[in-house]
Amino acid sequence: MSFEAWIIATGVLVGVSCGLIGTFLVLRSMAMLADAISHTVLLGIVGAFLVTGSLDGIYMFIGAAATGLLTAFLVQLLHSKGVQSDAAIGVVFTSLFAIGVILLSVYGANVHLDIEHSLMGEIAFVPWNTVTVFGVDIGPKAFWMLASVLVLNVVLISVCYKEFKIASFDPQMALALGIPVLLIHYVQMGMLSLTTVASFDSVGAVLVVAMLIVPPAAAHLLTDRLLYMLILSALIGGLSAVMGYFFATWLNVSISGAMAAMTGVCYASAFLFSPANGVITKKLRTLNMQKERAG
């Protein structure tokens, strides 16, 4: 495959896997937790590097998953101690991110990781970092990392579909039915952290937030069914990645930034033209109705 194809494939994988897990966050009104976790993953990566001295995939995964869960746990803890939940998110992620930045600037000289890179990502470099299996070059590392996370997400979501669904829409009933809501919360946070860290290296912290929140929110405007919402949000995520890539190469600008902007375009079109909920479609419907009444 050409470099271009690998980059697009990686972007689409980011869009699809973020779109799937993001759906549950948007439904549970925890979008900002995604923002928080995508920032604190930086601390996990730096921490993993400081402990093990390598930037190997597996250590990064463990470190990031640990800080992701830590973030979710700390937010929960502060909230239970009487801090209102939005402020709890704000305090936790900014302080963990600040620690990450400070550690990085103290020990950062010999880490192949700079802060701008971690914020904006550099998906254009993805094809150069390849994996070799049995002497055969099978493609970029980021691609395979994302692919395995996507498989994990799909498997978890299809196995626990019913539980996830009920815990998203009616947590009280889920509790009453004996479904471990708290466990589901932490499973989802773990999935979120893994998805974030896999996407992080190629697309950066901010694009991850865009891919996690915007496609599901757009899909939510288009449908009222969870299954369709999952499929639509994965489609929108993938579509924005492809559109973003071509937009970025056209103007020669940051690919990840362009992908984030394209998710925004998708959301805006859903916001305006969604058949059931769009602002303009609603307006048109009212106008038509008025005309019918008059005529």
Partner 1 sequence: MFESLWLQLQHPNTQWVLAGTLLLGTASGVLGSFVLLRKQSLIGDAMAHSALPGVCLAFLFTGQKSLPFFLLGAALAGLLGTFCIQLIPRLSKTKEDSAIGIVLSVFFGVGIILLTYIQQQGAGSQSGLDSFLFGQAASLVRQDIILIAGISAVLLLLCIVFFKEFTLITFDLAFAKGLGIPVRFLNGLLACLIVCAVVIGLQTVGVILMAAMLITPAITARYWTERLTGMIIIAGITGGVSGVAGTLLSTTMKGMATGPLMILSATLLFLFSMICAPKRGLAAKAIRLMRLRRRTSREQVLLAIYEQYEKNNLCVTVESVRKKRRLSPSLCLKALNDLEQERCIERIENGIWQITSKGIEKGYHTALKQRMYEVYLMHEMELANIESDQDYFDPDRLPRETRERLYSLLKLYGRMPERRKASHDAEKGQIANEF
Closer CB to partner 1, 98 or 227, in the complex:
98
**Cβ 55 to partner 1, closest distance in Å?**
21
Length of the chain: 295
191 is a contact residue toward partner 1 (CB under 8 A): no
267 is a contact residue toward partner 1 (CB under 8 A): yes
**Cβ 57 to partner 1, closest distance in Å?**
25
Closer CB to partner 1, 57 or 90, in the complex:
90
Structure tokens at 25: 């966050």
CA 103/CA 153 separation, integer angstroms: 31
CA 39/CA 204 separation, integer angstroms: 9
Closer CB to partner 1, 83 or 152, in the complex:
83
Q: Which residue(s) pair with 136 in the sheet?
A: 133
- Single out the residue of 126, 146, 189, 206 in contact with partner 1 (rule: CB under 8 A): 206
Contact between residue 68 and residue 192 where contact means Cβ atoms under 8 Å apart? yes
Provide Rg for the chain, Cα atoms.
Answer: 20
Site residues (CB under 8 A) for partner 1, limited to 150-189 = none
81 is a contact residue toward partner 1 (CB under 8 A): yes
Q: Which residue(s) pair with 137 in the sheet?
A: 132
CA 120/CA 261 separation, integer angstroms: 13
End-to-end CA distance of the chain: 61
- Single out the residue of 51, 56, 73, 94 in contact with partner 1 (rule: CB under 8 A): 94
Residue type, 263: T
**Cβ 89 to partner 1, closest distance in Å?**
7
**Contact stretch for partner 1 (CB under 8 A) within 60-68, 177-185, 201-209, 228-236:** 201-209
Closer CB to partner 1, 42 or 198, in the complex:
42
DSSP secondary structure, 108-130, as one string: GGGSS--HHHHHH--GGGGGGSE
| Residues near partner 1 (CB under 8 A), total | 58
Structure tokens at 258: 């362009």
CA 219/CA 274 separation, integer angstroms: 9
**Contact stretch for partner 1 (CB under 8 A) within 7-15, 57-65, 89-97, 140-148:** 89-97
CA 272/CA 187 separation, integer angstroms: 35
Closer CB to partner 1, 120 or 179, in the complex:
120
CA 113/CA 292 separation, integer angstroms: 63
Binding mask 101-140 for partner 1 (x = CB under 8 A): xx--xx--------xx--xx--------------------
Structure tokens at 237: 């995520």
Determine phi and psi for 140, rounding to 5 degrees. Answer: -65, 145
- Single out the residue of 37, 217, 234, 243 in contact with partner 1 (rule: CB under 8 A): 217
CA 203/CA 196 separation, integer angstroms: 10
259 is a contact residue toward partner 1 (CB under 8 A): yes
- Residues near partner 1 (CB under 8 A) are 26, 29-32, 34-35, 39, 81-84, 86-87, 89-91, 94-95, 97-99, 101-102, 105-106, 115-116, 119-120, 206-207, 209-210, 212-214, 216-217, 220-221, 248, 251-254, 256-261, 263-264, 267, 271, 277, 279
